[in-house]
Amino acid sequence: MRDMAGQIAVLGLLMLSAQGGFGAGSRIWTNIDNDGSKTRLTCALNHSATEIVGHRWVKGGKVLKEDALPDLKTEYEVDSEDRSGQYSCIFLPEHAGRTDLEVRGPPSIKAVKKSEHATEGETVILVCKSDSFPPVINWLWYKESKSGDQVITNSTQSKFFVVSSESRTELHIPNVDLKEDRGLYVCNGTSLEGTSQAAIRLRVRSRYDILWPLMSIVAEVLVVATIIFISEKRQNPDEVLDGEPVPQSLHSLLG
């Protein structure tokens, strides 16, 4: 009787820690083990009517890990520098079972490009993103300068335009100015767990810079053509071209 009571108690604890997933009549048990330096995620099927042919771990639409093992249990160790977010464990084939695990933590903000190049007059879009959990609830853009940071907002006095969602923010800069708009831009994201930021360097070149390579090519072609023309003239100095008048000195020789 005591053994049976102990088994019932253990089963009750397992049920309290379980999260439902979908599958062929199966249930997925999950666990998040965080010891400070490492975070290990675990998913386990209590049974499966479908033969398991592998596992896949996904975060933000990106495949983090995939294997071809037949086990009813799979684990994934989270990167400590980018731990927070929603993770999905998938038992393959996909209809065998899938569920999500949410790891809380401060936002991890990333610039899609750390450096952006543009020609004056163009429209530039600077982008930052975050797939952390909980999601970002407030985005802020500013430009660093010697006189102080310039906060960028959507206003009638500013040509800048900001478009943001929980996982992404875009800074639109139309008609880029060579002197005024180049520099370092910072995107700052804040969630219920904290705040973080990333920087993007915008480099602007003059529209005339594009012409220099073309002018250089034209100059090279002219130089080569001139050299060829002079060389041919030196090789055939007495050649009389059609339509040119015959010198008077040649009339006596020609009779």
Residues 187-242: pLDDT tens digits? 999 999 999 999 999 999 987 755 556 666 766 777 777 777 777 777 766 555 55
Co-location of 126 and 93 in the same domain? no
Is the pLDDT score of 49 beyond 70? Answer: yes
Q: Which CATH number characterizes residue 178's domain?
A: 2.60.40.10
Query: In whole angstroms, how large is the CA radius of gyration of the chain?
Result: 35
Residue 214 CB neighbour total at 10 angstroms: 9
Phi-psi region of 131 (alpha: psi -120 to 50; beta: other; left: phi over 0): alpha
Assigned domain for 18 exists: yes
Output the pTM of the full model.
Answer: 0.68
Name the residue range of residue 13's domain: 2-103
- Three-state DSSP at 235 gives helix
Assigned domain for 50 exists: yes
Phi-psi region of 43 (alpha: psi -120 to 50; beta: other; left: phi over 0): beta
Phi and psi at residue 158, in whole multiples of 5°? Answer: -115, 140
Co-location of 93 and 123 in the same domain? no
Q: How far is CA 122 from CA 82, 116, 163, 175, in A?
A: 34, 12, 18, 5
Is the pLDDT score of 249 beyond 70? Answer: no
The confidence score (pLDDT) of residue 192 equals 96
Q: Which runs of consecutive H residues, i.e. helices, occur in the chain?
A: 2-16, 211-235, 248-254
**DSSP H or E run through 190:** strand 183-191
Co-location of 119 and 167 in the same domain? yes
Report the DSSP beta bridge partners of residue 143. 150, 185
Contact 67/54 with Cβ under 8 angstroms? yes
Mean pLDDT calculated for residue range 12-32: 58
The confidence score (pLDDT) of residue 11 equals 36
Encode pLDDT of 97-117 as tens digits: 999 999 999 999 999 999 999
Average pLDDT value over all residues in the chain: 82
Assigned domain for 187 exists: yes
Co-location of 116 and 76 in the same domain? no
Assigned domain for 46 exists: yes
Of 103, 119, 148, the last residue of a domain is: 103
Q: Is 61 exposed, middle or buried (0-12, 13-18, 19+ CB in 10 A)?
A: exposed
Is the pLDDT score of 156 beyond 80? Answer: no
The confidence score (pLDDT) of residue 166 equals 93
Residue 34 — very low, low, confident or very high, per pLDDT cuts 50/70/90? confident
Co-location of 119 and 96 in the same domain? no
Is the pLDDT score of 14 beyond 50? Answer: no
The confidence score (pLDDT) of residue 88 equals 96
Phi and psi at residue 168, in whole multiples of 5°? Answer: -155, 145
Co-location of 74 and 116 in the same domain? no
Co-location of 7 and 94 in the same domain? yes
The count of domains in the chain is 2
Of 51, 78, 103, the last residue of a domain is: 103
Assigned domain for 242 exists: no
Of 78, 103, 128, the last residue of a domain is: 103
The confidence score (pLDDT) of residue 8 equals 35
Residue 176 — very low, low, confident or very high, per pLDDT cuts 50/70/90? very high
Q: How many percent of the chain have pLDDT more than 90?
A: 57
Encode pLDDT of 52-71 as tens digits: 999 999 998 899 999 999 99
Co-location of 117 and 73 in the same domain? no
Co-location of 92 and 135 in the same domain? no
Co-location of 54 and 132 in the same domain? no
Assigned domain for 229 exists: no
| Residue 3 or 169, more confident | 169
Co-location of 194 and 146 in the same domain? yes
